[in-house]
Structure 1
Amino acid sequence: MKIRNPPAPEKSELNMTSMIDIVFLLLIFFVMTFKVVELEGDFSIKMPLAGTSNATIDPTDLPLELRLLADDTGNLAGMKLNDIQMGTGPEGFDKLRGTIVGQMASAGPIAEEAGEGPEVEIDTDYNLRYEYVIRAITAVSGYKDGDQVVKLIEKIKFAKPRR
């Protein structure tokens, strides 16, 4: 027996309402959890080249040398800027920033306009914790005065680590 009128195939439709709800929920979640990060330090760093240690260094290229000393546990044991003791705690980093500000003020704006600003070489002990290096970079690179960022030293390079 033949069926003369076969039933029409059913069309299946996707219910887009629930999919759109999920997309909007995800969008709201990402918008609400987005955190605007403060502007991080913008400074140039020169890392030491890997090679022989017989390279000569011109002392006029390194006007400021920051030496960070570590104790056996990796904590900061001392900090010197061109053989001037700075201390170890937060007051040491404040003194470092004050010394840099004083040197920048005595150098005058002529060096800054010519792009010949001072350069700092950071020399650390091998086992020093990174948090102290970052605090030192923050202290010499600038500070925030209200809503303005005051840049101090933009040329930062690292000496080869000592064991």
Structure 2
Amino acid sequence: MQIPNQGNRRSVGANMTPMIDVVFLLIIFFLVSSHLARQEHRLPLELPVASTFDPVDPDKAPLTISVDQQSRWLVSGDVVDLSGMRAILSDLKANQGTDAAIRIRTDGAVEYKQVEPLLREAAVAGITDAAIAVREEAGL
């Protein structure tokens, strides 16, 4: 009886290398994108207190603008001036259309007169969906 030669047989298995590459790329993508999404919450802001509020879906507002204690406007951790904010809001409106929305995170010590120009620029750009982040009053 003759034993078949294993050296001449071809392996019919699937090559998993491209699949593993894609999985690693997806993991890296999600790690980087989640890091950028959490970056806005690293600013040390004491949000204003409100007794009543409507919860905002974080996915609804694609742009979060933070106003720190020095009344600086920050988008993704970068300080933005008035002209830069105009460009950002115009681009947002052009890309999102009627679904364009902003969420403003401001420190409780910041006066409204520092936030009002931001709301005005959003209105000029045609963005009517603006939400201000607050924290729930203690004891409610």
TM-score (norm 2): 0.51
* In the alignment, structure 1 residue 155 sits paired with structure 2 residue 129: yes
Which is helix-richer, 1 or 2?
2
Equivalent runs, 1:56-95 vs 2, <5 Å: 58-71=57-70, 76=71, 78-86=72-80, 92-95=81-84
Match of residue 148 from structure 1: none
Match of residue 105 from structure 1: 94
When the two chains are superposed, the root-mean-square deviation of aligned CA atoms in Å is 2.6
* In the alignment, structure 1 residue 133 sits paired with structure 2 residue 132: no
Closer, same or farther: CA 133–161 of 1 in aligned 2, 3 Å? farther
Q: Deviations over 1:9-39 (max 9, x none)?
A: xxxxxxxxxxxxxxxxxxxxxxxxxxxxxxx
Aligned length: 86
Structure 1: unaligned runs, 5 residues or longer: 1-47, 87-91, 143-150
Instruction: Report the CA distance between 1:161 and its aligned residue.
Output: 5.7
Contact 2:92 2:100 in 1 (8 A): no
Which amino acid letter does the alignment assign opposite residue 62 of structure 1?
A: A
Which amino acid letter does the alignment assign opposite residue 50 of structure 1?
A: T
Which amino acid letter does the alignment assign opposite residue 77 of structure 2?
A: D
Identical-pair percentage: 15
Contact 2:101 2:127 in 1 (8 A): yes
- Distance in 1 between the 2:104 and 2:58 partners? 14
Structure 2: unaligned runs, 5 residues or longer: 1-49
Q: Deviations over 1:112-158 (max 9, x none)?
A: 3xxxx21111111111121111111112221xxxxxxxx42001111
Which secondary structure state, in structure 2, belongs to the residue aligned with residue 70 of structure 1?
coil
* In the alignment, structure 1 residue 50 sits paired with structure 2 residue 52: yes
Q: Which has the larger radius of gyration?
A: 1
Contact 1:140 1:153 in 2 (8 A): yes
